[in-house]
Structures are given as C-alpha cells and as structure tokens.
Amino acid sequence: VKVILNPAPACPLDNTLLSTLYVITPNESEAELLTDISVTDFPSAEKAAFILLDRGVEVAIITMGIKGALIKTRELTKIVPGFKVNAVDSTAAGDVFNGSLVVAMAEGKTLEETVQFANAAAALSVTKLGAQPSAPKRVEIERMLLKQA
C-alpha cells in the first residue's frame, strides 16, 4: 500500500511516520514546519524536500501556489509550473490538489503528469467560491491542460 500524506494542518511528524510514506505534499509553510527550512522559492523548496527524503519519504511534492510545485525523489528534481488564473478563494485548493494527485497516480500517470493534473485542478478550484462547489470536473481539468500545452 502506498501512503500519500497531505500534512495539513501542519504539525511536527516523526521519522517513524515519515519513513512509511510514499508521497508527502506539504505547502511552503508546512514544509518549513517539517524541515526548519524557510521555503520561499524553488531552491529552498528543494532543500526542504531533500530533508524529507533523508527522513524516509520516497517522493516529496512541495506545492507553491501559482508558482507551481516541486517534485523531488532520489533520482528526480522537477519544477512543474502553476497556472495563471483569476483567484477568488483558495478554500480547498490543497484538498483538490491532493485528490486530483491521487486520481492521476491511480491512472498510472508519471509523477510530472500527475502534478500537472493536480496543479490544473487546484488552479481551477481557486477561481470559484467555496470548497465543494470549487472542485472542478475532469473535463475542465483536461481543457485547462490542453490550453497550457
């Protein structure tokens, strides 16, 4: 069983727990709490991700809002750009990102494709008010990915 953890709300996690994770998906502030690295850009995100890998996580995906996300494994460091949208409400953006990430992983997409899919879904979610009403439909996500290609 591959365990994927969105560490929100942020709290300290011990190495025993972290070593059981396949993927962890902190945002900047959660990554800082977990690693004591102030995450303000992709180089600092990579430093924080490396610490998470050293603590036993297989894949660290640090989300950075409109900037996108950083994927870090032992073999891969990849920046996946975000999407420029007219944001009105970030409620549930992290939840939408993580739900979409799991869907794409279950479909066998590559890590980069998975994060692109999740970034698109999260970007769409911030264009609407509320939590549940902001969750995009698959066709909307696919349309956004086609526009960005």
Per-residue pLDDT of the chain (149 residues), as tens digits, is: 899 999 998 899 999 999 999 999 999 999 999 999 999 999 999 999 999 999 999 999 999 999 999 999 999 999 999 999 999 999 899 999 999 999 999 999 999 999 999 999 999 999 998 888 889 999 999 999 998 87
Q: Which of 36, 54, 89, 95 is catalytic?
A: 95
* Proportion of the chain in helix, strand, coil states, percent, rounded to 5: 50, 15, 40
Backbone conformation region of residue 104, classed left if phi is above 0, alpha if psi is from -120 to 50, else beta: alpha
In Å, how far from its chain's centre is CA 93?
10
**Cα–Cα distance measured from residue 50 to residue 57, given in angstroms and rounded to the nearest whole number:** 9
- Catalytic status, residue 54: no
Strand extents, DSSP E, 6-149? 23-24, 59-63, 68-72, 77-81
> pTM above 0.85?
yes
CA angle 92, 135, 95 (to 5 degrees): 35
Instruction: Tell me if 11 sits within 8 A of 48, measured CB to CB.
Output: no
